[in-house]
């Protein structure tokens, strides 16, 4: 049985623990706070209710071991996931303690959303062993994990990380450069700022903004991202035509956020090339049919959601916070 060490509880650490356990790994959990134990037990219980519904087959559940010390947790672990609070001195101290006790061959992933791998690696014993593996909540269900190496990480380490994360049902994306907040949180932050303006200016309420998302582009983005959606929107005229039309709009006063990128020919070409590669030969009609099939499946699925949630709540006898 493969062994993972989860260092730092909270919702993110507990979510990692649940994901590894349900994919058959032995999980050694360490957090000095007694409250962390309660969180991990609750999250594992919740994950065990939902995760098996996604898979036709899962291996027998692994064993959760509450480690008395960090050193005992990380000894012999293949994967060590650090999810301690987002303060750099705490990260550095924890990573030093991990490296003093763990195997040289282990991969150390950090759940950090705010720090770049090169910052985490400062003064580390073996900086090449540490990279960012940034998941999204709930970790046991959402497949995405952003893998961010710095220039000191070798391909052997990133390959190992990508392969291992795939085996626990994740969709790891290996970023090409380190930037503050990686990719997903930068996108979220931009949208969040605009949403705050809309609230502040009284254009819409939180509920209206949420409704516009869940009944609109949320359904889009659960199955086609921004670029593939625009690719479909461009139709047979193509991505380049679509982008060229879009250029002037970027200068319009739609958002309160300024300093827009220059959508010049070089950038257009790069996006066209990458979008072509991404389509991998599929026609717009094919992409459109995929999109429609997805949307139908999602809309049908959402109709049964409340009954399932209600049944689960009754089963756990949860009536409030």
Query: Which CB sits closer to its own copies, 33 or 214?
Result: 214
Question: What is the number of other CB atoms lying within 10 angstroms of the CB of residue 210?
Answer: 13
Contact 83, 8 (CB under 8 A): yes
Minimum separation from the CB atom of position 202 to its own copies (A): 6
Minimum separation from the CB atom of position 194 to its own copies (A): 4
Minimum separation from the CB atom of position 34 to its own copies (A): 17
Question: What is the number of other CB atoms lying within 10 angstroms of the CB of residue 22?
Answer: 24
Minimum separation from the CB atom of position 67 to its own copies (A): 25
Minimum separation from the CB atom of position 36 to its own copies (A): 14
Query: Which CB sits closer to its own copies, 59 or 312?
Result: 312
Query: Which CB sits closer to its own copies, 104 or 317?
Result: 317
Which two three-digit tokens encode residue 190? 């931009």
Helix spans in 25-138 (H): 34-54, 70-74, 88-101, 117-121
Query: Which CB sits closer to its own copies, 5 or 39?
Result: 39
* 142 φ/ψ angles, rounded to the nearest 5 degrees: -75, 125
Question: What is the number of other CB atoms lying within 10 angstroms of the CB of residue 37?
Answer: 14
Q: What three-state secondary structure class fits 107?
A: strand
Contact 16, 83 (CB under 8 A): yes
Query: Which CB sits closer to its own copies, 28 or 134?
Result: 134
């Amino acid at each position: 049985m493969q062994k993972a060490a989860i260092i730092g509880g909270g919702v993110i650490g507990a979510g990692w623990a649940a994901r590894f356990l349900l994919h058959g790994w032995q999980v050694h959990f360490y957090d000095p706070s007694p409250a962390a134990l309660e969180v991990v037990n609750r999250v594992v219980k919740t994950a065990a209710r939902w995760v098996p519904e996604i898979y036709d087959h899962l291996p027998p559940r692994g064993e959760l071991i509450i480690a008395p010390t960090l050193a005992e947790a990380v000894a012999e672990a293949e994967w060590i996931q650090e999810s301690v609070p987002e303060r750099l001195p705490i990260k550095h101290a924890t990573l030093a303690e991990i490296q003093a006790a763990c195997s040289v061959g282990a991969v150390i992933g950090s759940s950090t959303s705010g720090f770049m791998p090169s910052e985490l690696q400062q003064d580390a014993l073996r900086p090449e062993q540490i990279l960012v593996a940034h998941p999204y909540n709930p970790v046991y269900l959402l497949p995405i994990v952003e893998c961010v190496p710095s220039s000191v990480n070798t391909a052997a380490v990133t390959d190992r990380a990508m392969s291992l994360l795939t085996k626990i049902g994740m969709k790891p994306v290996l970023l090409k450069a380190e930037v503050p907040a990686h990719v997903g949180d930068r996108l979220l932050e931009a949208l969040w700022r605009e949403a705050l303006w809309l609230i502040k200016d009284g254009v819409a309420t939180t509920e209206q903004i949420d409704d516009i998302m869940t009944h609109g582009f949320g359904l889009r983005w659960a199955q086609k991202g921004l670029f593939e959606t625009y690719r479909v929107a461009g139709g047979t005229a193509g991505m380049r035509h679509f982008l060229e039309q879009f250029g002037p709009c970027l200068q319009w006063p739609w958002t309160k956020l300024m300093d827009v990128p220059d959508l010049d020919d070089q950038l257009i070409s790069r996006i066209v090339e990458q979008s072509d590669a991404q389509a991998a030969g599929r026609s717009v009609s094919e992409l459109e049919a995929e999109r429609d099939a997805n949307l139908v499946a999602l809309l049908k699925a959402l109709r049964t959601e409340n009954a399932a949630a209600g049944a689960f709540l009754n089963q756990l006898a949860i009536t409030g916070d």
